[in-house]
């Protein structure tokens, strides 16, 4: 393999060190072989460590495509059933291709929505193939769930409020008996043995405490402790989950997770909007990662995460897009900017420094996805995971010539500035296009597959207005009144 030489106008080598002007990065055998000074200030790009998206679902359908905008999370989740099942390789290739085009080199695919056209091990193989075809680092967090299929409580009362037709549909679609915990946990190990290798790892993906029995969570905590396999789960995303957790775990939900081996360096928690200070301190002390999903939290009305307070307590925080990027476009650069402007501070009180933001968008997420700490820096010997932005376009309107490169990145970089992406030395994006798959053609194919299968979810579409109303009254009812 011949070495690649990347011409750089500005290099952001890691989260803390100052930008370096006029360099050449030499990439060879998957690593940065050298970072050399460049003689003349010839045209080059802005290069930084590849971004990481530490919470996502390999989801391909946007809210506006299925008419589920402005629906709070608890009622929105059932809307995912409106999305017809399609070929899992096609769906995953599009999801990972869009992720790469958005500037991300490593992604958590918390696989909460199985297409289900085949058995799960076959589907997982298709997801792994899509990851390798695209070329980014993927952690497949295998979904484990066996509790509370409709609401965080017994659902009998809710069903009583539905018409017979809606009740029959909801029972058929949502209330299938789950596999026993032991089988679900064994499935994760079997899938891992089958698909893990360069580019893809497998994690336990319990949906969240409110969706898993104590037996399920204990088995996962025990297995993770024994094998070292990583764990990814939702935690305290909404005020309703907080309410449920306080009723169900009077000792504290994070303390409970800690007792069963699920608060440690192997674990990452998505959202954590409703964490309390003592819980932040415990998570920080144990070294677990919190994954913040700023756009998603706005879009499904979950709240604003207390990022400043988390940082002050030493929490490791990473970025996630959660399949709900602000403009429905998987643009990780815009997500990074949005998180920064929401969380950076109040007046002169800085709560999220620039170094915090860069760690959030690169090394902390990469760690949650891969478990590795050797990346997110561009230096000889480091893995060649590089994001290349079009510096000439970014800098085209400068008046003052010495505006720092990071200022421009934070002010305006979007996915259309993504020129290239290297992951483990492989050129995954070149001239703004994904190299391993024909993404535009696959997007067309996916859309026609989704439209062709639209009728397969007609029953649940018909039941949705009633279900949504019933869910709204459940979460506005006496159980959840403050």
Positions that interact with Zn ion (CB under 5 A) = 322
Residue 161 Cα distances to 156, 462, 469, angstroms? 9, 16, 9
Beta strands in 122-266 (DSSP E): 137-144, 200-206, 231-235
Residue 13 or residue 205: which is nearer to Zn ion going by CB?
Answer: 205
Per the CB < 8 A criterion, the answer to whether 53 and 321 are in contact is: yes
Helix, strand, coil tally for the chain in percent (to 5): 45, 20, 35
Residue 99 or residue 435: which is nearer to Zn ion going by CB?
Answer: 99
Residue 111 or residue 367: which is nearer to Zn ion going by CB?
Answer: 111
CB of 246 to Zn ion, least distance (A): 22
Residue 155 Cα distances to 174, 468, 476, angstroms? 11, 14, 15
CB of 237 to Zn ion, least distance (A): 8
List b or e across 229-238, with b for residues whose CB sees 16 or more CB atoms inside 10 angstroms. Answer: bbbbbbbbbb
CB of 350 to Zn ion, least distance (A): 29
Tell the burial category of 86 from Cβ atoms under 10 Å away from its Cβ (0-12, 13-18, 19+).
buried
Residue 56 or residue 385: which is nearer to Zn ion going by CB?
Answer: 56
Position closest to Zn ion via CB: 322
Per the CB < 8 A criterion, the answer to whether 13 and 379 are in contact is: yes
Per the CB < 8 A criterion, the answer to whether 205 and 110 are in contact is: yes
Residue 123 or residue 322: which is nearer to Zn ion going by CB?
Answer: 322
Per the CB < 8 A criterion, the answer to whether 41 and 55 are in contact is: no
CB of 19 to Zn ion, least distance (A): 33
Give the integer Cα–Cα distance in Å for 250 and 258. 14
CB of 55 to Zn ion, least distance (A): 6
CB of 59 to Zn ion, least distance (A): 9
Residue 150 or residue 386: which is nearer to Zn ion going by CB?
Answer: 150
Residue 96 or residue 422: which is nearer to Zn ion going by CB?
Answer: 96
Residue 146 or residue 322: which is nearer to Zn ion going by CB?
Answer: 322
Residue 322 or residue 331: which is nearer to Zn ion going by CB?
Answer: 322
Beta strands in 72-227 (DSSP E): 104-111, 137-144, 200-206
First to last CA, the chain: 63
**Count of Cβ atoms closer than 10 Å to residue 198 Cβ:** 11
CB of 248 to Zn ion, least distance (A): 21
Structure tokens at 18: 């100052």
Tell the burial category of 348 from Cβ atoms under 10 Å away from its Cβ (0-12, 13-18, 19+).
exposed
Residue 46 or residue 73: which is nearer to Zn ion going by CB?
Answer: 73
CB of 58 to Zn ion, least distance (A): 11
Per the CB < 8 A criterion, the answer to whether 166 and 479 are in contact is: no
List b or e across 362-392, with b for residues whose CB sees 16 or more CB atoms inside 10 angstroms. Answer: bbbbbbbbbeeeebbbbeeebbbbbbbbbbe
CB of 112 to Zn ion, least distance (A): 7
CB of 323 to Zn ion, least distance (A): 7
Q: State the DSSP string of 28-65.
A: ETTEEEEEEE-SS--S-EEEEEPEEEEEE------GGG
Residue 45 or residue 322: which is nearer to Zn ion going by CB?
Answer: 322
Residue with tokens 């305290």: 236
CB of 294 to Zn ion, least distance (A): 13
Residue 322 or residue 427: which is nearer to Zn ion going by CB?
Answer: 322
Give the integer Cα–Cα distance in Å for 361 and 106. 11
Structure tokens at 306: 């207390």
CB of 76 to Zn ion, least distance (A): 11
């Amino acid at each position: 393999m011949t070495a690649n030489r990347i011409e750089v106008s500005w290099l952001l080598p890691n989260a803390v060190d100052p930008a370096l002007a006029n360099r050449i990065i030499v990439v060879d055998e998957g690593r940065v072989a050298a970072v050399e000074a460049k003689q003349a200030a010839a045209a080059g790009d802005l290069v930084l460590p590849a971004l990481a998206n530490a919470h996502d679902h390999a989801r391909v359908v946007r809210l506006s495509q299925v008419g589920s905008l402005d629906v709070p999370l608890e009622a929105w989740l059932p809307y995912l059933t409106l999305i017809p099942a399609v070929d899992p390789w096609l769906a995953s290739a599009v999801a990972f291709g869009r992720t790469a085009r958005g500037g991300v080199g490593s992604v958590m695919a918390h696989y909460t929505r199985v297409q289900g056209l085949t058995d799960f091990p076959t589907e997982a193989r298709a997801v792994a193939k899509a990851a390798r075809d695209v070329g980014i680092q993927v952690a497949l967090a295998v979904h484990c769930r066996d509790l509370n299929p409709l609401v965080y409580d017994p659902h009998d009362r809710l069903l009583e409020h539905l018409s017979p037709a809606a009740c029959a549909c909801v029972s058929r679609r949502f209330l299938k008996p789950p596999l026993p915990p032991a089988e679900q946990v064994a499935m994760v190990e079997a899938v891992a043995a089958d698909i893990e290798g360069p580019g893809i790892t497998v994690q336990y993906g319990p949906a969240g405490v409110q969706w898993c029995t104590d037996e399920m969570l204990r088995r996962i905590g025990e297995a993770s402790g024994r094998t070292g396999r990583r764990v990814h789960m939702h935690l305290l995303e909404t005020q309703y989950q907080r309410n449920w957790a306080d009723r169900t775990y009077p000792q504290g939900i994070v303390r409970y997770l800690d007792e069963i081996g699920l608060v440690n360096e192997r674990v990452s928690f998505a959202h954590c909007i409703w964490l309390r200070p003592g819980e932040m301190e415990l998570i920080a002390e144990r070294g677990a990662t919190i994954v913040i999903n700023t756009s998603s939290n706005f879009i499904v009305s979950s709240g604003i995460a207390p990022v400043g307070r988390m940082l002050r307590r030493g929490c490791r925080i990473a970025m996630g897009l959660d399949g709900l990027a602000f403009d429905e476009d998987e643009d990780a650069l815009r997500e990074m900017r949005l998180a920064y402007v929401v969380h950076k501070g109040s007046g002169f009180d800085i709560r999220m420094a620039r170094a915090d933001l860069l760690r959030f968008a690169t090394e902390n997420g990469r760690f949650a996805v891969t478990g590795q700490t050797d990346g997110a820096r561009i230096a000889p010997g480091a893995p060649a995971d590089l994001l290349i932005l079009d510096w000439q376009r970014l800098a085209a309107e400068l008046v003052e010539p010495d505006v720092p490169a990071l200022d421009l990145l934070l002010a305006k970089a979007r996915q259309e500035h993504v020129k290239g992406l290297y992951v483990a030395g492989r050129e995954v994006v070149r001239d703004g296009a994904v190299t391993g798959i024909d993404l535009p053609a696959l997007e067309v194919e996916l859309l026609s597959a989704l439209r062709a299968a639209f009728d397969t979810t007609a029953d649940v579409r018909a039941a949705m207005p009633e279900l949504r109303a019933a869910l709204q009254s459940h979460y506005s009812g006496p159980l959840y009144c403050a």
